[in-house]
Amino acid sequence: MKSTLLVGNAVIGQAGGPTAVINQTLVGVIEEVQKYEHIRHLLGAKHGVKGIVAEDFIDLKRQPRHMLELVARTPGSALGATRDRPDREYCERIFKTFRKYNVRYFFYIGGNDTAEAAQIVNQVAQDAKYELRVIHLPKTIDNDLLANDHCPGYGSAARFVAMAFMGDNQDNRALPGVKVNILMGRDAGFITAASILARMREDDGPHLVYVPEKPVSMDRLVEDVSAVHDKWGRCVVAVSEGIRDEEGTLWVERIRTQVNDGLGNKDAFGHSQLSGTGALADYIAGCIKGKLGKKIARVRADTYGYLQRSFPNIYSEVDAAEARLVGQMGVSYSLDADQDGSVALVRLPATTYSVGTKLVPLEAVAPPKPPKFRILDAQYIASDGNNINDSFREYALPLVGDLPKVGWFEQIAIPPIEDVK
Amino acid sequence: MKSTLLVGNAVIGQAGGPTAVINQTLVGVIEEVQKYEHIRHLLGAKHGVKGIVAEDFIDLKRQPRHMLELVARTPGSALGATRDRPDREYCERIFKTFRKYNVRYFFYIGGNDTAEAAQIVNQVAQDAKYELRVIHLPKTIDNDLLANDHCPGYGSAARFVAMAFMGDNQDNRALPGVKVNILMGRDAGFITAASILARMREDDGPHLVYVPEKPVSMDRLVEDVSAVHDKWGRCVVAVSEGIRDEEGTLWVERIRTQVNDGLGNKDAFGHSQLSGTGALADYIAGCIKGKLGKKIARVRADTYGYLQRSFPNIYSEVDAAEARLVGQMGVSYSLDADQDGSVALVRLPATTYSVGTKLVPLEAVAPPKPPKFRILDAQYIASDGNNINDSFREYALPLVGDLPKVGWFEQIAIPPIEDVK
């Protein structure tokens, strides 16, 4: 049974780390809203819930059309984002603004924290018997939202990582040694697993892949590197920032770095922070050098960091289109469903890749009890725990799109020396 | 006066760190050689001088045509590279191979180390009264070769950096704080300076830029960051890996990191190594946090690392074409000049950007006495030493090519509250 069409204003906000396509979702909403009558004003909240509480809005219905496509293609969150995780009291302040501005629709783009916040706001509204529709629009490069086949933002981050490894594999082939790259993903290895899409030839890297789902000891990792280096004379390693030891402790939590600035000053830093630091990469490279330094001269480590989520023009076309679709469908669901929810992507059973959407309950994406997020299916992790199976390609490649082709020389021998002279 | 055309074989090799376009130069030589008769066999030396000594060659004239364009577009060194810097004895072994294979032309693609090696090989040949033409083909992302307006490889690395800062600026705008990014360049700040191409609006990052040419103290850097953060509420900083203190010491040499693996083991690492480590980034972020942590909650640092030189498909069209041209012209010069040299790019005096090449003496690129490399012109460095002047755009933008457009919302206020309700 459909309720009477609710007429009022809408607020939209963006939360959490930006992605390459989060603005596609935003522009999808802006465009779709123009088609209908139920949303009179579309208020863009600056920096998510922060902007709602501060009543810091911009008018999104009157934006110049020519800018919308540019905004859609620009990485980062065009409205500004926030890391605030509102509690009940915060949500009551949000609701106060909603009531003041006659806001009847709340579109919130973000991950599971965001879906959780949306739930609390919804509860406050219900308790006040205030009719409000809350639509969560998923976004996360980590791809770890429950109830989704995959999440807008993932395909583009995965594409960046796959391309980066394609290049890094060529670099390592040119100047052989050990190369360790740290990828984003605290709990789920989806981004790290995408590194295997870079492999074109049998000896291409990454040769080893470690994800948070499969704990590993440093000794084991060093042994693995040694074995690969013995075989190929080089080794490229993909490591999730969320790598854990066999007791389930994050490696990064065990690293304590003491920095001496050369002037006698010492500061000790604890590195529970995962992104925006190279500590884990340096730690792993240091351990490999320490244990294998006699046989391997060249050990390097890079941390891809924020480049993974914000590099302009490196995005998956599929991801961009799906992110747009999620925004459009959010508006569509707000029209004809008398329920709140999150717009989930569903992979359709078809011979070629295709997706649909469905509106799932907010609790399905942000459940009250663990597991609160999705991790890699065990089938994708190699039995040795140090690699990702090729079957993951079928899952990930359609989301990432075709990768650039690489070329190499045929190993054609020169003619016999007597003919060459 | 031209000498009689010298007929024989040619060896080509690649040395040093790869670039996004080093294979363009290689393919330029392969294609051009097919047009003439003077080079019978083109021997590709695997891993540069190492492969020459080991007689490890592949036949480059008989490579499948369809692969050549793919190789040209692939980052990394398709023949393999080396960091070996041959001394006189090593060069005598190289010469022994040349004599054995009747090699009369030596094309060596690389930086100034490579030009120096080419000179020594040339000297050995001359001493033996063996006729040999040595052509050095420049390649360096650092852009620090003397006698060149700019170097093949630079435009593409600069493009990666400019795009990365475009994205990172959006990321920092979305989640404000301090973001420090470390860029390649031990002695010359060209790559770091290219970060300013990312600026489109007045408040766009990078807000501060530090290059090796201009020593700076940590106290000064932290003060600068504090002032920018006071002004814009955020701060994006570009720092060369070769940043020096006021005594001319590399910052990275002053950092000693002690890593505790949580099991009671401690290792001390010295970080004279610049690339493939995040130590400098973490050190700077740590110092900023230590001194400004009370007012700035969010400080992050990334090291762009090898991505700057090897990312597939992120290359400058101009750079790719010029790298190809340098290879083609190398073959052309080998035909009609009775001298050795390096193929330098010259910017022509014209209203629109255009370049030519000239063959310069090897000593011009690798002089026996300092200065051995080129640095940023003082005119490009802001008088405060913490930024790059806009005039650098005129130099760099034609080499980098047009950048992607970004979009942003107009700050259109919503109607008065009484009209919204």
The pLDDT score that the predictor gives to residue A272 is 52
Quote the pLDDT of residue B271: 42
**Distance between terminal CA atoms of chain B?**
89
Q: Which of A18, A287, A420 has the CB atom closest to B101's CB atom?
A: A420
pLDDT of residue A53: 98
Closest residue of chain A to B413, computed from CA coordinates = A58
Q: For the beta carbon of residue B74, count every other beta carbon within 10 angstroms.
A: 27
User: B259 vs A276: CB contact, 8 Å cut-off?
Assistant: no
Q: Are A256 and A271 in contact (CB under 8 A)?
A: yes
* Closest by Cα among B379, B403, B401 to B204: B403
- Cβ–Cβ < 8 Å for A179, B84: no
Which residues fall within 8 angstroms of residue B226, CB to CB, at 6 or more apart? B292, B295
* Percent above pLDDT 90 for chain B: 86
Q: Do A171 and B18 touch (CB under 8 A)?
A: yes
Which of B101, B173, B412 comes nearest A417 by C-beta?
B101
- Whether the CB-CB separation of B250 and B224 falls below 8 Å is answered with no
Residue A239: CB atoms within 10 Å: 28
DSSP letter (8 states) at residue A403? P
pLDDT of residue B273: 60
Distance (Å, whole) CA B376 – CA B214: 10
Instruction: Give the A:B interface size as CB pairs under 8 Å.
Output: 334
Cβ contacts of B168 on chain A, cutoff 8 Å: 306-307, 310
Specify the DSSP class assigned to residue B196: G
Which two tokens mark B194?
Answer: 């290219």
Of A173, A279, A413, the CB nearest to B282: A279
Q: Do B307 and A164 touch (CB under 8 A)?
A: yes
In terms of CA atoms, which chain A residue is nearest residue B180? A276
Does B174 contact A14 at a Cβ distance shorter than 8 Å? yes
Contact A71, A64 (CB under 8 A): no
CB spacing of B307 vs A64 below 8 angstroms: no
Residues of chain B with pLDDT under 70: 1-3, 256-276, 337
Please state, in angstroms and rounded to a whole number, the distance separating the CA atoms of residues B110 and B94.
17
- Cα distance between residue A209 and residue A192, in whole Å: 7
Q: Does the beta-carbon distance from B420 to A218 stay under 8 Å?
A: no
Spatial neighbors of A226 by CB under 8 A, at least 6 apart, are A292, A295
* Partner residues linked to B134 by β-bridges: B106
Question: How far is the alpha carbon of A364 from chain B, nearest alpha carbon, in Å?
Answer: 27
Are B85 and B118 a contacting pair, CB within 8 Å?
Answer: no
Q: What is the pLDDT of residue A275?
A: 63
Single-letter residue type at B235: C
Q: Could A409 and B175 be called an inter-chain contact, meaning their C-beta atoms sit closer than 8 Å?
A: no
Chain B environment of A261 (Cβ under 8 Å): 218, 254-255, 283, 287
- Phi/psi at A242 (5° precision): -90, 20
Q: Which residue has the tokens 């980590």?
A: A142
Q: How far is it, in rounded angstroms, from Cα B285 to Cα A19?
A: 23
For B163, the closest of A73, A311, A411 (CB atoms) is A311
DSSP conformational letter for B55: T
Q: What is the DSSP string of A159-227?
A: HHHHHHHHHHHHHHHHS-SEEEEEE--SS--HHHHGGGGG--STTPSP-EEE-TTS---HHHHHHHHHH
Q: Give B373-416 as a DSSP string.
A: S----GGGB-TTSSSB-THHHHHHHHHH-PPPP------PPPPP
Which value does ipTM take for this structure? 0.95
> Which chain B residue shows the shortest CA-CA distance from A251?
B261
Give the separation between CA A253 and CA A318, rounded to whole angstroms: 36
The alpha carbon dihedral of B139, B144, B150, B156 has a sign of: positive
* Rounded Cα–Cα distance for residues B88 and B74 (Å): 33
Q: Is the peptide bond before B370 cis (omega within 30 degrees of 0)?
A: no
- Answer yes or no: do B407 and A256 touch at CB < 8 A: no
pLDDT tens for chain A, 421 residues long, are: 445 789 999 999 999 999 999 999 999 999 999 999 999 999 999 999 999 999 999 999 999 999 999 999 999 999 999 999 999 999 999 999 999 999 999 999 999 899 999 999 999 999 999 999 999 999 999 999 999 999 999 999 999 999 999 999 999 999 999 999 999 999 999 999 999 999 999 999 999 999 999 999 999 999 999 999 999 999 999 999 999 999 988 998 877 554 544 444 444 444 456 666 788 998 899 899 999 999 998 999 999 999 999 999 999 999 999 999 999 999 999 987 677 999 999 999 988 999 999 999 999 999 999 999 999 999 999 999 999 999 999 999 999 999 999 999 999 999 999 998 8
Measure in Å the smallest separation between the Cα of B357 and chain A Cα atoms. 27
* Best to test chain A binding among B245, B409, B412 (most A CBs inside 10 Å): B409
CA-nearest of A387, A394, A383, A375 to A238 is A387
A36-55 burial string, b = 16+ CB within 10 Å, else e? Answer: eebbbbbbbbbbbbbbbbee
Amino acid, res. A333: Y
- Provide the 8-state DSSP code for A250: B
* Chain A residues within 8 A of B42 when measuring between CB atoms: none
Please give the structure tokens belonging to residue A24: 């596609």
If you measure CA to CA, which chain B residue comes closest to A18?
A: B171
- CA separation for the pair B311, B281 (Å, rounded): 21
The partner residue sitting opposite A414, judged by closest CB among B43, B312, B415, is B43
User: A231 Cβ partners below 8 Å, 6+ apart?
Assistant: none
Candidates A163, A218, A304; nearest CB to B313: A163
Annotated catalytic, A142?
yes
Q: How far apart are CA A350 and CA B187, in angstroms?
A: 56
> Tens digits of per-residue pLDDT, B41-91?
999 999 999 999 999 999 999 999 999 999 999 999 999 999 999 999 999
What chain A residue is nearest to B172 in terms of C-alpha separation?
A76
The residues facing B178 across adjacent strands are B235, B299
CA A89, A94, A97, A102 torsion-angle sign: negative
* Smallest Cα distance from A6 to chain B, Å: 14
Q: Is the dihedral of CA A346, A348, A349, A353 positive or negative?
A: negative
Provide, as residue numbers in chain B, all residues whose Cβ is less than 8 Å from the Cβ of A74.
170, 406-408
Contacts of B60 (CB under 8 A, 6+ apart): A409, B12, B30, B33, B42, B43, B44
β B178-183/B208-210 pair status: unpaired
CA distance B418 to chain A (A): 9
pLDDT of residue A1: 42
Which residues in chain B have Cβ-Cβ distances shorter than 8 Å to A247?
none
Of all residues in chain B, the one with the smallest CA distance to A307 is: B164
Q: Which residues of B touch A201 (CB under 8 A)?
A: none
**pLDDT score recorded for residue A261:** 46
H helix and E strand count, chain B: 15, 13
Cβ-based burial of B377 (10 A; exposed 0-12, middle 13-18, buried ≥19): exposed
Q: Do A80 and B174 touch (CB under 8 A)?
A: yes
* A18/A21 Cα distance (integer angstroms): 8
pLDDT score recorded for residue A421: 83
Mutate one of A58, A66, A414 to test the B interface: name it (highest B CB count within 10 A).
Answer: A414
Q: Chain A: residue nearest B258 by CA? A: A258
Residues in B closer than 8 angstroms to A60, CB to CB, are 409
Label residue A99 exposed, middle or buried (CB < 10 Å: 0-12, 13-18, 19+).
middle
Please measure the distance between the N-terminal and C-terminal CA atoms of chain A and give it in whole angstroms.
Answer: 89
Specify the pTM: 0.95
B135 with B343: CB under 8 angstroms? yes
Amino acid at A126: Q
Query: Which among B260, B307, B412 has the least Cβ separation from residue A63?
Result: B412
Q: Is B222 helix (H, G, I), strand (E, B) or coil?
A: helix
Q: Which chain A positions have a beta carbon within 8 Å of B197's beta carbon?
A: none
Q: Do A256 and B262 touch (CB under 8 A)?
A: yes
Q: How far apart are CA A74 and CA A80, in angstroms?
A: 13
- Name the active-site residue from B142, B168, B204, B319: B142
The minimal CB distance from B278 to the residues A75, A164, A303 is found for A303
Contacts of A410 in chain B (CB under 8 A): 58, 63-64, 67
B275 vs A contacts (CB less than 8 Å):
300
DSSP run (H or E) holding A13: strand A8-14
